[in-house]
Amino acid sequence: MFSLTSKVALVTGATGGIGAAIARQLHRQGAVVVITGTRESVLNELAAGLGKERVHAVTADLSDPASADQLIARAEEAAGAPLDILVNNAGLTRDMLAIRMKDEDWDKVINVDLSSPFRLCRAALKGMLRRRSGRIINIASVVGATGNAGQANYTAAKAGLVGMTKSLAQEAGARGVTLNVVAPGFIATPMTDVLPEAQKEKLVGAIPLARMGTPDDVASAVLYLASDEAAWVTGSTLHVNGGMAMI
């Protein structure tokens, strides 16, 4: 089950907590993994942790459209084979209440969290449609469905990702290429570690499964959607949030 032997996978934002877990799980299942991020040293560390085989590190700044446009070709060159699995995990936040939010805070988040995944999907789909196989998994967020004060830009991008994925799933369906979304809830990462203890307790109190999620909880969902076993699942959103929002 869930074997990815000889599949080539690209994971963006692999230097983050969730991205690294995704890269590790896909690698463990036999995939050739291309990891990408902006921080070269962290990327190389992660690559070394995965072992010498079947791992390639490619630095890329996805806020640059040209860099996003070229990334698929660079990944395929590094792996020496066409791409089978694309995981759009890279993202950033610029949180603040809307009345304080500047255009650049809005634009930056929409560009990296929505436009860049579109560019990567577009580039990846060209080859996948021709080869009549492929898996794309876009990482959104529970707040894309529920909204969240202080995150108008981020939630718009993540909700946009869901709509985009559904459209692309319809366009690619006839070729056996699937696109799905994984929407994580409250996950323990370096980003959430800094929250005050009282706030964490309150957040966990709203989760029926009574704990924060782990990066591996998210990665397991990605692994399923990347596998042959998920061949008949497309355009769907898999919520991984401990029951915090049952949608």
Partner 1 sequence: MSEIADKVKKIVVEHLGVEESKVTPEASFIDDLGADSLDTVELVMAFEEAFNVEIPEDAAEKIATVKDAIDYIEAQKKAA
Contact set with partner 1 (CB under 8 A): 126, 129-130, 171, 174-175
Tell me whether residue 132 or residue 202 sits nearer to partner 1 (CB atom).
132
Q: How far is the CB of 125 from partner 1 (least distance, A)?
A: 10
210 labelled as ligand-binding?
A: no
Please say which residue, 107 or 171, places its beta carbon nearer to partner 1.
Answer: 171
What's the CA gap between 73 and 119, in Å, rounded? Answer: 12
Write down the catalytic residue from 50, 75, 117, 154: 154
Burial class (CB in 10 A: 0-12, 13-18, 19+), 22: buried
Is 38 annotated in a binding site? The answer is yes
157 annotated as a binding-site residue: yes
**DSSP result, 100-163:** G--HHHHHHHHIIIIIHHHHHHHHHHHHHHHHT-EEEEEE--HHHHH--TT-HHHHHHHHHHHH
154 is catalytic: yes
For residue 103, the minimal CB distance to partner 1 (Å) is: 29
**Of 85, 123, 86, nearest in space to 7 by CA:** 85
User: Which CB, 39 or 130, lies closer to partner 1?
Assistant: 130
Q: How far, in whole angstroms, is CA 88 from its chain's centroid?
A: 4
Indicate the annotated binding residues for NADP(+). Answer: 38, 89, 154-158, 187
Indicate the annotated binding residues. Answer: 38, 89, 154-158, 187
* Catalytic residue ranges: 154
